[in-house]
Structure 1
Amino acid sequence: MSIIEKAAARRNDPQRTPDTDVPHPDMIVEAMARSAATKAEQSLAEAVGPGAPALPAMTQAEMVQAAMAQSQGLKTAPLVAPVAAPAVAGPVTTAPVKAPASGNSAARSTTRKVDLDLARMRDLGMVTAAGGRTALVEDFRVIKRPLIKRAFAERAPGDLPGNLIMVTSSLPGEGKTYCAINLAMSIAMELDHTVLLVDADVARPSVLRTLGLPAQRGLMDILVDETLDLSDVMLRTNVPTLAILPAGTSTPRATELLASAAMTNLVMEIALRYPDRIVIFDSPPLLLTSEARVLATHMGQIAVVVEAETTTQHAVKESLSQLEGCANVNLIYNKTREFPGIEESYDYHYG
């Protein structure tokens, strides 16, 4: 006799004393139904795991069905309404998704923009697109042409990217930063190329100072802090084809950082990220620091600035010996005197 039948018989027994501890059969069914429903929900929750959609409520009839089946010793499948599959493209994974690091969140800060004072640069004797057709502009047109040609020439296996160009000198004061900025500005005038000017003179950064800009985070900060991205420290300018990567925070471990695998990965990233980009590195002097020799090992081309009538032949030879084994080493003769009878600027006029 089932528990429901026993309860009904006891309720109908005329000799029993009235009491309130015997539940009505309907109450028994409801209690058993709730118990079965709870067990079904727990079983399904364990099967689908956390984060599954909420289970639909069971109807009274379904709960009674589950209770009757349980009282008869039957095993029933959980009564669950079908749940529509999520409308997503591609496979769905239930593996937990790792939250991004705080420094590499999807909502990264956009690249900052700075405005170059082009009028001031022109007054300082630098190359600008609006500066007219001057002798200086023509000089750097001559200098940049073979560098651009080699930058995108076919490379042999193992060759370093030709669009990585280091501008250096033997000693301070020979005009390497001046030449690096003018070379970058001249290449930025090209129709098919963009330029990234990197201040790699980490001991005495001078690119931003020469351009009249305040110091910023840059190259050293990326190498020290792996959570920083290139876009976090690179500066866009009002010259659309020119961007600047400052030297960043000074550190006594500059040589080791420039020789690290992180630096190798960084230069390869900036060399290959955009197919039309040329990267100009303003390097420390070769004869005073070890950073320049380490930086040269990453470069596809090197330009050594020689100050006219000042740099000794011995210094030039010593600098070239420091670069032994580096391909495509060029010399830029700087601060030459004007030839008499040659006008500083000229233009073509058509009638």
Structure 2
Amino acid sequence: MQLPPSLLEMAPPIEKGFADINLVRLRQRGMVTHESGRTPVAEDFRIIKRHLLNDARASGAKAIPNGNLIVVTSALPGEGKTFCAINLAMSISMEKDARALLVDADVARPSVLKVLGVQAERGLMDVLLDGSVDLSDVILRTNVPSLTLLPAGPASRHATELLASRNMSRLLEELANRYPDRIIIFDSPPLLLTTEASVLVSQMGQLVMVVEAETTTQAAVRDALARIEHCRNVNLVYNKSRAFSGAEYYGYYE
């Protein structure tokens, strides 16, 4: 039986490897979208991304190995790392000469897709567990120009070992080098909660650590930084500060 034209027009297109991000909900939550305009949050992430992009594109003596692999993490849960990772990826996708890939690497408690309002069954863990699964099988194109997603995939009790495996190293090399204009943003587990975070961070070119204003203690920040002391390119984002007219503010420190 053939559907009438009116119903066909209403039905969303079904396309393999495609995710329809709920942009209306993101805007309602005050997050960055291509249509959000010059909001304070959008402007803050324009500042944050500029330094990261400059380092990702550096050449010669200033070049950073895998500089286009950027991991976003925090010392503890609830500091806003996923919020910052999504906003950063969305802001980078607005660049005229860059594409963003957002990876949900918080494999124990993935939340990127939930925030974006999309669903997927397979992802990063499937590629690491099954050699027959290719990146192209699990990366999702989206309704946002120049933004793709790599979901976490199923949980695994061997997540730390998988993230430290040669398969992961090869996957990161492929991600870093397949497209020279692509910036890959990883939403990582909190540094003080799991061992996966330190393993993942050790393979990244740049790190952004989100610190919740007036909540995260100096001791927690010091302990988290001690776990990534081998990283040379660490940046701090001071999140949820209300020091400016009662609005949330995102400070940036290198």
Alignment of 1:48-127 (within 5 A): 112-127=17-32
Could you say what secondary structure the match of 1:247 adopts? Answer: coil
Distance verdict in 2 for CA 1:298–1:243, change over 3 Å: same
Question: What residue in structure 2 maps to residue 253 of structure 1?
Answer: 158
Task: Give the aligned partner of residue 334 of structure 1.
Answer: 239
- Structure 1 residues not aligned, in runs of 5+: 1-109, 345-351
Q: What amino acid does structure 2 have at the position aligned with 1:192?
A: D
Q: In the aligned structure 1, how far is the partner of 2:16 from the partner of 2:128?
A: 18
TM-score (norm 2): 0.89
Aligned-partner SS, 1:305: strand
- The structure carrying a bigger strand percent of its residues is 2
Instruction: Confirm whether residue 131 of structure 1 aligns to residue 30 of structure 2.
Output: no
Match of 1:193 in 2: 98
Match of 1:255, SS state, is helix
CA offset digits 1:297-324 (Å, max 9, x no partner): 1100000000000000000011111001
How far is the alpha carbon of 1:340 from its aligned partner?
2.3
Count of residue correspondences = 235
CA contact (8 A) 1:171 1:287 kept: yes
CA distance 1:111–1:243, shift in 2 (3 Å): farther
Question: 3-state SS of the aligned residue for 2:232?
Answer: coil
- What is residue 183 of structure 2 aligned with on the other side? 278
| Distance in structure 2 (CA, Å) of the matches to 1:323 and 1:233 | 29
Counterpart residue identity of residue 216, structure 1: E
Question: In the alignment, is residue 305 of structure 1 matched against residue 210 of structure 2?
Answer: yes
- How is 1:143-154 mapped onto 2 (pairs within 5 angstroms)? 143-154=48-59
* Conserved? CA contact 2:207–2:234, under 8 Å: yes
User: Is contact 1:170-1:286 (8 Å) kept?
Assistant: yes
> Following the alignment from structure 1 to structure 2, what is the Cα–Cα distance between the partners of residues 249 and 325?
30
User: In structure 2, which of residues 188, 195, 202 is the aligned counterpart of residue 290 of structure 1?
Assistant: 195
Q: Per-residue displacement from partner, 1:58-104 (whole Å, max 9, x unpaired)?
A: xxxxxxxxxxxxxxxxxxxxxxxxxxxxxxxxxxxxxxxxxxxxxxx
Tell me what 2:119 maps to: 214
* Structure 2 CA distance for partners of 1:223 and 1:157, relative to 1, 3 Å: farther
Distance of 1:155 and 1:171 partners within structure 2: 36
CA contact (8 A) 1:111 1:232 kept: no
Q: Secondary structure at the match of 1:304?
A: strand
How far is 1:240 from its partner? 1.9
* Aligned mates of 2:22, 2:52 — CA distance in 1: 27
The code of the aligned residue for 2:195 comes to S
TM-superposed CA distance for 1:155, in Å, is 5.6
State the SS of the aligned residue for 1:335.
Answer: strand
Q: Does 211-220 or 166-175 show the bigger shift?
A: 211-220
1:111–1:231: 8 Å Cα contact kept in structure 2? no
Output the amino acid matched with 2:160. Answer: T
TM-score (norm 1): 0.64
Q: Secondary structure at the match of 1:197?
A: strand
Greater alpha carbon shift after TM alignment, 241-250 vs 148-157: 148-157
**Counterpart of 1:30?**
none
TM-superposed deviation, 1:338: 5.3
Compute the RMSD of aligned alpha carbons. Answer: 2.0
Amino acid at match of 2:32: V
Larger radius of gyration: 1
Per-residue CA deviation, residues 316-351 of structure 1 (Å, 9 max, x unaligned), is 011111001111000001011152298x9xxxxxxx
